[in-house]
Each structure stands twice: as C-alpha cells, then as structure tokens.
Chain A
Amino acid sequence: MTSRVRDSYRDAKKFLEKYKRLDAAVDAYYSNPGAFSTPSKPQQAAPSTSKLNALFDGYKDPDSDDITISGTIKFCEDLERDPEDVVLLAVAYELKSPEIGRWTRKGWVDGWKANGCDSLPAMKNAVARLANQLSSDSVYFRKVYLYTFDLGRTDGARSLGMDSAQAFWSLLIPYGLRGGAISHISSTDNDDDVDMNGAQGWKPEYTDWWFEFLNEKGGKGVSKDTWSMFLDFMRSIDAKFEKYDMEAAWPSTIDYFVEFAKERLASSKA
C-alpha cells in the first residue's frame, strides 16, 4: 500500500468525473496525481519567469544569491502574513526553501510557477489556498510536516533541535487538528475511515503533555523517525491511549510518552 491509496476521496472522485471510466481515471491519477488536487488553480496564461525573477530581485539580499531574513520579512508584509504564520511552512515546502528565512531563486521561480502565480495578488490568493489545503488535506499536511523537519534542522545535524521541534509542533498540530488534517484514523482497518467527531483521537492538551514529557526527559533533539512517526501516532492513537501496542514499531520515545500520558490520565481521574 502506498500513500497514494490514502489520497483523499475527493481527488479520486474528480478523476472519475473527468475520465468517466475507472481504469482511465486510475491511469491518469497515477501519471499526474496532482492534476485535480488544487481545484481553484486559475486557468490563465503560463506565469512569466521574468516577472518572477523581478519579484525575487526585489526581496533578494544584496550580499547573497538568496532572499534571506530581511527579504522574508518584507515579503511577508507584502503578503499580509505574519512571518510566524503556519502557512509559511507550506510556502517553504512549495518553494523548496532550504532553511528558515532563506529562499533560492530556482525554488522561487519553479515553486510559484507550479502554483500559477507571477504577481503579488496571485501569490496572495495562492497562499490563502495553501493555508486552506494545509488545514484540511491530510496528505498535503503530511508532506509539509515532513518537509518542516529538514527545513528546521541545522546544517549537518541528524536531529531537529528540541526548541525548534516544539515551536513547529505548536504551529502545525493545532492547525491540523482544527482543519481535520490530523483527523483520527481508526486503527482497526487502517483505511480512510475518518472519524469526524474526533472525540476518540488526539486532544489539544496532549500536545502540551508531549512537550512536558520531552522537557522532563531531556535530550538534545528529536530524531527524524520520531518526528515522522509522531504524526502517525497522533492520528492513530485513541483518546485513552488504551489501544497502543508497546511492542509495535513505534520509536521508544513514543512508548515512554504513552506511559507518561497513561499515568497522567489515571491521576487526573483520581
């Protein structure tokens, strides 16, 4: 089973509508899975490279080839977005930003082109669309989530610093929970059996417990495996941590957290 199978039901439906026949739809989906995942993409002339280059130059750090912090701040102002807005992580994913507050020319041009933009107003629209997609589309959320690990990692480090990790989680988790991108998946059938009321899955206060646990435990950073498995964990765990299997392939940090959380639940009941 690949992650494609878990792609949203909506996408599949659109493929079907377009191609009418199932086999044709499936073929088309696998050759270009993204074709319908951004339905509001404006149907207009191809974005202009020179316009994008010009915009890039406007933000570029004069001492560097890239846009750096000050350019980022200015760009955010123009987009009317707080630099700490979670959507910037999606934008970083789209433009293949190599690290926080750094944007390469190639990533800028290719990324905006792919999103069909060559002007600020178009970018604003695109960013609004990305924000929406990030909150509701769990496949897209996962991509951005995983990209964030590499984005936040300092050069050469294997793990993501504890402070950065918690900062990113604070941005991503509440956002994904609110929009449904981190909706609960019933562990019994592993399908897209989305539990819409969310009562049995991850609760916002658990994120605080997670941080508390990590701080108590100490340690320098979060490994890539823990980072990526944690998203799966949030989506599959039941609200009482009862169905967790200590002997399954979870990273041991998550094992210890479950013990911690269970104790916490027990003591809060007593």
Chain B
Amino acid sequence: MPSATADLATTWAFLEEGVDHIMTKLQTGVSYSKYMSLYTVAYNYCISSKINNSTSETGLGGLGNRTGANLMGSDLYNHLIRYFVIHLKQLRDQSETLQEENLLRYYAQEWDRYTTGANYINRLFTYLNRHWVRRERDEGRKNVYPVYTLALVQWRTNLFVPIQQKHTKLAGAVLRLIEQQRNGETIDQGLVKKVVDSFVSLGLDETDTNKACLDVYKEHFEGPFIAATEKFYIQESESFLAEHSISEYLKKAEERLKEEEDRVERYLNTQTRKVLISKCEHVLIREHASLMWDSFEDLLDYDKDEDLQRMYSLLSRIPEGLDPLRKRFEEHVKKAGLLAISRLAGEGAVEDVLDPKAYVDALLEVHQKNSETVTRSFRGEAGFVASLDKACRDFVNRNAATGSSNTKSPELIAKHADLLLRKNNKLAEEEDLEGALNRVMILFKYIEDKDVFQTFYTTKLSKRLIHGVSASDESEASMISKLKEACGFEYTNKLQRMFTDMSLSKDLTDSFKERMQQNHGDMDITFSVMVLGTNFWPLNPPGHDFVIPAEILPTYDRFQKYYQQKHSGRKLNWLWNYCKNELRTNYLNQKYILMTSSYQMAVLVQYNKSDTLSLEELLVATSIPKELMTQILALLVKAKILVNEETDQYDLNPSHTTYSLKDFKSKKIRVNLNQPIKAEVKTETADVLKAVDEDRKFVIQATIVRIMKARKTMKNQSLVQEVISQISQRFAPKIPDIKKAVDTLLEKDYIERVDGQRDTFAYVA
C-alpha cells in the first residue's frame, strides 16, 4: 500500500489493480482489508494538497483556494476514464461476433457484472465524489460525473452506442424477441427486461444525475418499438380481417390490447404504456372503426349482445368512436319503431280502428328491447340513452298510424290508459294494472303534445266517473300521481278536482234523498245526481232545447230548489246528454227494465199516453232536434221496442193485443238500450282537438307575457327559444303559432317593438 504522500503514478498503479479486480473478477472476492486500503489510498490522495502537483491541477488552483486547500482529484478521475475506456473496448471486441439472443445474453451478463462493479468503485471513490466531483459540477462542469454515473456514461459511449450503430443490433434483437412473443412463441422475458432496464439506466439528466431520464430508452428502444408495433398490427389486423368475421376481429383486438397492457407490466417502462396503448388503439380500432360502424347494425339486427358489448368497449377507447354508433343506434331504434307500427297499421287496414292496446304494446316492445340493449351492451351509457330517447320520441309521435297528425299518438295512448282503468278490463289484477300503467308512463314521457294526452285523458276520465265504470279508485289515484310526478301539479289539478266533485256529489245525493223522504212520501223515482264544476269537467250541455218529461219534472224541480237553498247563486246546467235512466215496463207480460239515455227516456215516456205517435208529435213533445231524434228512433226500432211500419210513424211494440213473433222479447230482464250514437263518437275527438287548440293559443300568449314581464325587453329569437323551452313540457309549440301570439299581444298592447329595433320587443307595463 502506497504511503499517504505517494505520488500519482504509485497511487494509481495500486488503485488500478484493485479497480480491475472489482470490475472483472468480483466473484473471487475482495478482502475487507484490501478494500479498506484501496479506499484509504484514494482518500489520502484526495486530501493531499501538493504544490508540486499543482501543475496538473491547472484551472482549478485559483478557485480551489476558497476552501483553504487545493482539491485533488482530476488526475484520479482521468485515470478512471482511461480505465473504463480500455475495459469497455475489450467487452465490445468480444461482442463483435455475437448476434440476436446471444448478444442480448452477453450484453445482459456484462451489464450486470459492470454495474455491480461500478457500484463498488463508486463507493471506493466516495471522497472524490463528495469533494472534487461535487465542486466541479457546482462550478458548472456538467460533464464531470460521480464515479458510478461516469461508469454508465462510459458504457454508453464505448459499448452501447457502438453496438447500436451496427444496424441497431441490440434494440433490434429485443424487438425481434418481442415479435416472436407476439407470434405466440415463448421468450426469455427476464432477459428482455434486463436489457430494456439498462436502456433506462443509461439515460442521464445532465443537470441532476440522480434524476431518471428516459432519453436513451426512448430514442433507442421506445421509438423503434412503437414503430414495430404499428407495423405488426397493421399487417396482422388486415390479414386477420381478410379471413375472419368482424365478431372474431373484435375478440382478437380485445385480446391484443390486453396483451400489450401486460407487456408493459412485464418488461417495459411504465411510461411506454400511454404511447403503446394509444398506438395500438389507433391501429386496431381507429383504423378499422368505419368497418365496425358499418357492421354495427348487423349486430343489432341479430341481437349479438356480446359482440355489441365488445364493440362498445373498443370504440369507447378512441375519441369520437362512439358517436357514429349512437347515431346508428338511434336510426336503428327509430326504424324498428316505425316498422312495428306500419306493420300494425297495415293489419288494421283502416286507421280509425287501430286498437289502442296493440298500438301501445307495439311501441313498448320496441322501447323495451332496445332499452335492454343499452343497459346490457352499452353499460347504460348516457349518450346511448339519449339516442334511445330521441328515437323513441320520434317514432312515438310520428309513425304510420299517426300520419301527419301530432295528436293521434297521444290520443291512442290516452285511450289505452282509459281501457286499462275501466272495469272489466282483463288486466284487473292489481299488480298487472300497476305495471301496465307504469308502461303507459314510459310512452307518456316521449309524447311531445302532452296537452293532447291530458285533454283526452280528462275526457275519458270524466266518462269513467260519470258512468261509474272506473276499475278502482286506487288505480285512478296512482295514475294521477304518476302524471303529477311527470308534469307537475298544474297538469293534474283538474283531474283531482274531478274526484272531489264525485265525492261531494255522493254526499249531496244522500242528503237530498234524506230530505225528500222527510218531506215527500210520494217519490217513486230513484234519483242520484252529480254536480260537477264547469271549469274542471270537459262536458258541454246539449246545444238544443229539451222538454223535461212530466214524469221526472217534480224531482227536477225539487232538486233545483234544494240546491239553490244550499248554494244560492250557483247556476245548475243540466247535462241531459250525459244522463241515464232506468224504466220499468208494465205493458208487457214480462216486466223488463230498460236502461236508457235521457232522450230515449223522453221518447219512451210519450208512449204512456199513446201507443202510436208520429215523428212530428215526438219532436214537439221532446224538443229533440230531428237529426238526433231519427237516430234515437232508429236505435229503438232496431231494439224492437218500437216499430216503424209507416213513414214517420212509430208505434209501441206490440201495438196490438194479439201475440206476434215480432213482439219485443229479451233474454235479460235488464235491457241496455243506451248505446252511443255514431255522430257523438266522431265529434268527441274533434271537440277534444278543438279544445286543445284554443288552450294552446292561451298558453302561448300567457307564457310570452310571463317571460316579457320578467325580462322587460327581449330579442325575437330568444323569446321564441324561451317560449319553446318553457312550453315543450306540455307540447311542442310551432313557430308560426308563437308569432301569431306575438301579433295578438302587440295589437293588445301587452308588448311593443323597441324603437328602431324591429326584432326586439318590450313589455308594456
């Protein structure tokens, strides 16, 4: 061991022997004392400040004075460099003949040995690192490195780069191994990992040697790797698709993506994940996206759930990959909906007789099937839900059954709801009915003109209530609360008031009966009454006169008086057109009970006085208009209550005492004559629609006034937008209708045009 004051040559000779031992045959071991003496010699050299050596410290002398002594080290450092260069030259020479995996093995093995040794050497020169190297770096000489880093830099310059320069021999060998693995062969992944890791270690951040830097890895490995990956998958996906179906391709792509994720885990730097996966997504998905988009409908048509799911998850990985699917899905659903209805309309032949239940079922079936697809295959993703909703809104409102009418669909759906809520409905079992009502609500959500539904529903409800044919109060209440939930209190307000009127009427009838029993013993008429608020019930009194038959007149008068007493000032309009009566027959051997309308009753009671009456006499006696009267009489004749043997002459059957085959007979004691008259049925729809139209005008105007009152001034365009958005809950207002409402409000001075701005309106307080 050289003395503490030994010169450089002596010192280095001693050190070099030790360094070489560590670097080349560490496995043979280094004794502790040997190591200690190496360390000491290096240390001693560094702390010796020898004036006679100062010549070799040129450039540092002046600066080193700060610490009071020259820092020694540059000679040692330069010797170390020289050693590494020579050492690495030998390693390089041995690698010359090696190829592919053999080269990798050699490289990995030497890398291990070299880095282990370098680690020891680094510690050996701790003092050099800590003082001389640090100061050099502090003073800006960034090409001076701590010893371990120096070793890596030398490896890079003298081994790695020269090998790579020969047709990227090293990285190329790694890439070929990876390709073999992609082709299904088993490779030594540990070897790949070692080599790849060395690339990472060789990166060097010039400003901070402790910082990881991936520039070598990226330049020599990642770039070529990504390029090779791209090439591989372009080639593979194309040839695969040439021979396989899209379904199989979806599976393949999914597997490949998974594999590449695993590859990163196994032997690549994690930073490669992003660029690798996005490259794979591009090649495997984006490049074949239009093929997937085009095959999407087939998959839908054949309900290939799994494939759909796979396509969804693949395309969701690329930007905008799903948009075309959503669009196509929307078209698909719409087409399915339209087809279902046009099939139905084709069967029904005449539009008018389209069965509401069949219509609703057809709509629901399409909705349900596709709704399930969204949940199952598209994970209920919001964009697909929106597509489904949009498509449903389209075909629910406009299809073969509706033609160009916006009101047909709400009408049919409301009629279906009516049928569900009626007595004697096959779905009477509670649970089913509730389910059926919920399904109606699914379609209700899609109806654009909710006001049309509302009006039809109100009309139908009023009929159910006044004819007492509602299935159950609970179901009625349940449906109303569903509507309320969907559209708010205002929407169902009238409906609820109708129920209130019904229960008040029941009490009223009872208390009237009680009073009459006290005052008049002679009431041989059973009477019940409903008093219904004009504003809440869509019912109109008859548009013609009606002579109240003498038989019921006393009851009529008594009730009028009774009611006026109770509620003075209220006006009662009698809706004869909605009344029902039951008449007992005394003129036949068998006693029958005839269930009639008021008009039929008014006609029939005329026969209490005479068995034969002319049309003219009947018209005079009842004041029923001729047109209606002939229909009433036709029905009674058809039921064989009356006979019409001469023109305009109607006789009670039998009008003679002798028995005849044509005599009135019925198997049932109670005979229902109260059939709806055709004209009434037809006008109902027209009336409803007219009511809707009037209502809309009012709603639009009121909305405009409300908006203008809040905003004071507003541009036409935003006003129109605002009106549409506020009203669309109820119905889809048309722009010409909005403009007409604006015209009206301008004329009535609710609003005015702002001076000089013809497209801006102001609220007139």
* Interface residues, chain A, with chain B CB atoms under 8 Å away: 1-3, 158-159, 223-226, 228-229, 232, 246-253, 255
Contact = CB atoms under 8 A, between A and B. Distances in A.
Contacts of A158: 747-748
B756 A223 contact: no
30 contacts: A1-B756, A1-B757, A3-B756, A158-B748, A159-B747, A223-B743, A223-B746, A223-B747, A224-B746, A225-B743, A225-B746, A225-B747, A226-B743, A228-B753, A247-B735, A248-B716, A249-B716, A249-B717, A249-B742, A249-B753, A249-B758, A250-B739, A251-B739, A251-B743, A251-B746, A252-B736, A252-B739, A252-B743, A253-B743, A255-B739
A248 B743 CA distance: 13
Nearest to B760: A249
A232 B756 CA distance: 10
Contacts of B761: 249
B747 A3 contact: no
Nearest to A2: B756
A113 B24 CA distance: 122
Interface string B737-765: 00110110011100001011111110000
A255 B736 contact: yes
A246 B735 contact: yes
Interface in B698-752: 715-717, 720, 735-736, 739-740, 742-743, 746-748
Contacts of B715: 249
Leading 9 A-B pairs by shortest Cβ distance: A249-B716, A249-B759, A252-B739, A225-B746, A223-B747, A252-B740, A3-B756, A2-B756, A251-B743
Contact of B753 (A159, A225, A246, A255): A225
Given A159-B747, A247-B720, A249-B717, 7 more contacts: A2-B756, A158-B748, A224-B747, A228-B753, A247-B717, A248-B717, A252-B736
A122 to B, nearest CB: 34
Contacts of A226: 743
Nearest to B745: A225
Contacts of B742: 249
Nearest to B715: A249
A246 B743 CA distance: 14
A150 to B, nearest CB: 14
Contacts of B758: 229, 232, 249
A15 to B, nearest CB: 20
Nearest to A158: B747
Interface residues of B, number: 21
A252 B759 CA distance: 13
Contacts of B736: 252, 255
A3 B735 CA distance: 29
A248 B739 CA distance: 9
Nearest to B737: A252
Contacts of A255: 736, 739
Contacts of B743: 223, 225-226, 251-253
A107 to B, nearest CB: 24
A146 to B, nearest CB: 11
Interface of B: 715-717, 720, 735-736, 739-740, 742-743, 746-748, 753, 755-761
Contacts of A249: 715-717, 742, 753, 758-761
A249 B754 CA distance: 12
A261 to B, nearest CB: 17
A251 B736 CA distance: 10
Contacts of B753: 225, 228-229, 249
Contacts, number: 50
A59 B160 CA distance: 119
Given A225-B753, A255-B736, A255-B739, A248 B759 contact: yes
Contacts of A232: 758
Most buried by A among B736, B746, B758: B758
A251 B741 CA distance: 10
Contact of A3 (B739, B755, B760): B755
Nearest to B753: A225
Contacts of B748: 158
Most buried by B among A223, A228, A247, A252: A252
Contacts of A1: 756-757
A129 to B, nearest CB: 27
Nearest to A1: B756
A229 B757 CA distance: 11
B460 to A, nearest CB: 34
A172 B340 CA distance: 60
B594 to A, nearest CB: 51
Nearest to B740: A252
Contacts of A247: 717, 720, 735
B737 to A, nearest CB: 9
Contacts of A250: 739
A166 to B, nearest CB: 19
Contacts of A229: 753, 758
B534 to A, nearest CB: 31
Nearest to B744: A223
Nearest to A229: B758
A226 B747 CA distance: 10
A246 B716 CA distance: 12
A158 B744 CA distance: 11
Contacts of B716: 248-249
A219 B348 CA distance: 43
A1 B755 CA distance: 9
B748 to A, nearest CB: 8
A223 B752 CA distance: 12
A250 B753 CA distance: 11
A250 B720 CA distance: 13
Most buried by B among A226, A228, A247, A253: A247
A162 to B, nearest CB: 15
Nearest to A236: B758
A158 B717 CA distance: 26
Contacts of A248: 716-717, 759
A253 B736 CA distance: 10
B764 to A, nearest CB: 13
Contacts of B717: 247-249
Nearest to A232: B758
A159 B760 CA distance: 21
A246 B715 CA distance: 15
A2 B736 CA distance: 29
Contacts of B720: 247
B723 to A, nearest CB: 12
Nearest to B758: A232
A224 B720 CA distance: 21
Nearest to A247: B735
A249 B714 CA distance: 11
Most buried by A among B735, B739, B746, B748: B739
Contacts of A228: 753
Most buried by B among A1, A225, A229: A225
A159 B742 CA distance: 16
Contacts of B747: 158-159, 223-225
B325 to A, nearest CB: 33
Contacts of B739: 250-252, 255
Nearest to A159: B747
A236 to B, nearest CB: 9
A224 B739 CA distance: 15
B121 to A, nearest CB: 81
Nearest to B757: A1
Nearest to B761: A249
A255 B715 CA distance: 18
Contacts of B759: 248-249
A1 B754 CA distance: 11
Contacts of A246: 735
Contacts of A252: 736, 739-740, 743
A30 B76 CA distance: 93
Contacts of B755: 2-3
B55 to A, nearest CB: 85
A222 to B, nearest CB: 10
A224 B715 CA distance: 20
Contacts of A159: 747
